[in-house]
Amino acid sequence: MKANSNYKLYATLRKLSPKEIKQLKKLLKSPFFVLRNDIGELFEYLSKYVLKDKPFPDKEQVFKYIFPDKKFDYGLLRATMSTLLGLIEEYFLILKQRSSTIRTRHLLAEIYRERDLSKSYQGVVKKTAELLEKYPQRNEFYYRQLLDFQLEEMEFLIENERTKYFDLGNISNTIDIHYLVQKLKHTCAQFSHKQVYNADYDFGLLSHLLAPIEQEKYLSIPAVGIYYYCYRFLTEPEGNTYFMKFKEMLFKNKKYFDSYEIKVLHLHAINYCIRELNKGHTAFGNEILDLYKDGLAGGYLLENGQISQFSYNNIVAAGTRLEEFDWSEKFIQNYANFLDPEHRDRTISFNLARLEYSRKNYDKAMVHLQNSEYKEVLNTLIAKSIITRIYYEQKNIDALFSHLDSFQIYVRRKEVSEFYRTNYLNNIRFVRKLVAFKGGKKQKEILKSEFEAEKILTERSWLLEKLNEI
């Protein structure tokens, strides 16, 4: 029985920190939680293996340690393991409750109400109201906790002060706000997922809610307004106006959201800008870099102390596209150690190649490209595109045509999305036309029109620039 044998207990134990293991040892000695010594002994035995990063020991060996006077019984061992897992889950719940003061207060209020302890109940309600008032964020979590608090208070008043007037309008308003935030937030996630995986989603009632949302009453609420504008720019063919309103509102109201949520909102916006940039809308290059700089300054793009190689690549691409070469170089250096060590060297070399190419240091760029082997298909496609441009700039036509042949074979053989396949095959086709061009002014205009008319062509600007130089 090994660590990868899908034993939920052992998989759970391996996620415990040394501090948590110590805490659990104390908990398992409490007669309130455990009445059987074998549970604690099982935990002690297995935790030694976990701390030494060893696989799950032999099941007969475990059983003999726990039940030295009994004949091996796998059913008994499994039942004991299941009981231990249940106690660990109780421990997790205790930790979770301790980490969320507001949610714990809701539960305490409910307990006091059920036990008819009015004074204690009122004390908890007062404290909860103060916590909610001081709570720094005004996001979905806040409105959910506010709604739970209001509903709990209503239950108490119905049971204990039936003749007293209480305002149900506040509860109705909170229900509306919470639902709208939750619905808009989830729909933005659905749409982003749809873009990547071509999933078919029904957005439910949202289309019927857009008119009410557009009232100032709701749009002025940051959590509603930000997700509304996000939904609009993600789903509208011409979403630039909504994007600018989104960006302005987000930058003014970041204090109302946690860092993870701000990161997700940044990524929604960045992915939109990338799609617009791929359509040839070059002004979005500035917007991408603006979002990345803000994300870096706030630390939103780091997760567990690391930056993803994809964000790292996109940041350098945005910086070099806008010719902010010094800033891009500093970024490559300053954030190198934030990359996962597994991808670090090739990610750095890839981006140094991109930077040197942008600076027109073609030989240096080629050295970086040739000294690295890219495992990611998209990085390989980008690297091959850079090599294409370098051969063209250096007028190395024989090498260029040979490279285009192998590039085309690579694109056709690899599993990539239809967008990327179409894009890179179009790029290759038009580079061939550019190199072979021998016509006059009229033929140049015809070729220019072909470049401009192609819907999917990320090298459009470069192709038009090179055509103009002929």
Give the count of alpha carbons within 13 A of 88, CB side only: 24
Q: What is the pLDDT of residues 343-367, one digit of tens each?
A: 899 999 999 999 999 999 999 999 9
Nearest to 286 by CA among 318, 314, 262: 318
Q: What is the pLDDT of residues 183-207, one digit of tens each?
A: 999 999 998 877 666 667 778 899 8
Copy the structure tokens of residue 395: 């007028």
User: Cα–Cα distance between 6 and 4 in angstroms, integer?
Assistant: 6
Nearest to 311 by CA among 300, 325, 327, 322: 300
Q: What average pLDDT does the structure give for the chain? A: 91
User: Cα–Cα distance between 142 and 128 in angstroms, integer?
Assistant: 12
In sequence order, the β-bridge partners of residue 302 are 307
Q: What is the pLDDT of residues 214-228, one digit of tens each?
A: 988 899 999 999 999
Nearest to 450 by CA among 437, 19, 415: 437
* pLDDT for residue 81: 94
User: Cα–Cα distance between 376 and 383 in angstroms, integer?
Assistant: 11
* pLDDT for residue 6: 43
Percentage of residues of the chain with pLDDT beyond 70: 97
User: Cα–Cα distance between 203 and 191 in angstroms, integer?
Assistant: 9
Kindly state the average pLDDT of the residues 432-454. Answer: 93
From residue 321, give the alpha-carbon distance in Å to each of 239, 358, 366: 22, 8, 19
Nearest to 271 by CA among 350, 196, 375: 196
Q: What is the pLDDT of residues 25-50, one digit of tens each?
A: 999 999 998 888 899 999 999 999 99
Q: What is the pLDDT of residues 288-314, one digit of tens each?
A: 999 999 999 999 999 888 999 989 999
Look at the pTM and tell me if it is higher than 0.85.
no
Nearest to 257 by CA among 424, 344, 143: 143
* pLDDT for residue 280: 73
For residue 30, give the amino acid letter. Answer: S
Q: What is the pLDDT of residues 108-141, one digit of tens each?
A: 999 999 999 999 999 999 999 999 999 999 999 9
Name the pLDDT band for 158 (thresholds 50, 70, 90). Answer: confident
* pLDDT for residue 197: 61
Question: Helix, strand, or coil here: 6?
Answer: coil
Say yes or no to pLDDT of 247 above 50.
yes
How are beta strands 306-307 and 302-303 bridged, if at all? antiparallel
* pLDDT for residue 193: 78
Say yes or no to pLDDT of 409 above 50.
yes
* pLDDT for residue 147: 96
Question: Helix, strand, or coil here: 70?
Answer: coil
